[in-house]
Amino acid sequence: MKNIVVFASGSGSNFQSIIDAVQNGSLHAHIAGLISNKSGIKALERAEKHGIPTLVISETEFHEYEVYERQLLLQLENWNTDLIALAGYLRKIPASIIKAFENRILNIHPSLLPKYGGKGFYGINVHKAVLEAKETMSGCSIHVVSEEYDKGPILEQATVDVLASDTPEELAARVLQQEHLIYPKVIETYLNTLNEN
């Protein structure tokens, strides 16, 4: 069984959808750990509740970025990580980690990439931008992580209608529902392609 490590910076609702999929048998994998750059977040509570090991680590704790990278890599190796799933992780993944886990890091983004991707486009900022541009359609994208923000190959997208009455929060909630539906399914499919290679 493949080992997934999830990275999260916030409430971890996508992390929860992955936990639920593993528990109900629709995702055939083991969640080996959760990595966060912040303490005291809901995602860590979710991990603790389900007996999932955690590591809180941030580059700001280290005098040298290389030491931070080595620590991160060491933990991923200790957990025998096969796939990394980013679930609302708000730090850039170090280039050395992307190289070590080439084509084995997935991210979910709350827009229809390539629209509204890149630096600064995360969380509610994305939904505000979608509404300001008067888009009629939005959604979420799951992509393979590359060294450029939100530029890796797109694996799957789900769409939602943008309503004239939408607030950014209302749009965010509907997009999030789609994220929870598709992320575990895409991870399962992607793990199967890794098994074949």
Active site residues: 109
Closest CA to 179 of 123, 121, 101, 99: 123
- Cross-strand partners of 33: 5
CA distances in angstroms from 61 to 22, 67, 90, 163, 197, listed in the order given: 33, 10, 16, 43, 37
Q: How far apart are the first and last CA of the chain?
A: 15
Measured between alpha carbons, how far is 110 from 122 in angstroms, rounded to an integer? 7
Measured between alpha carbons, how far is 44 from 93 in angstroms, rounded to an integer? 19
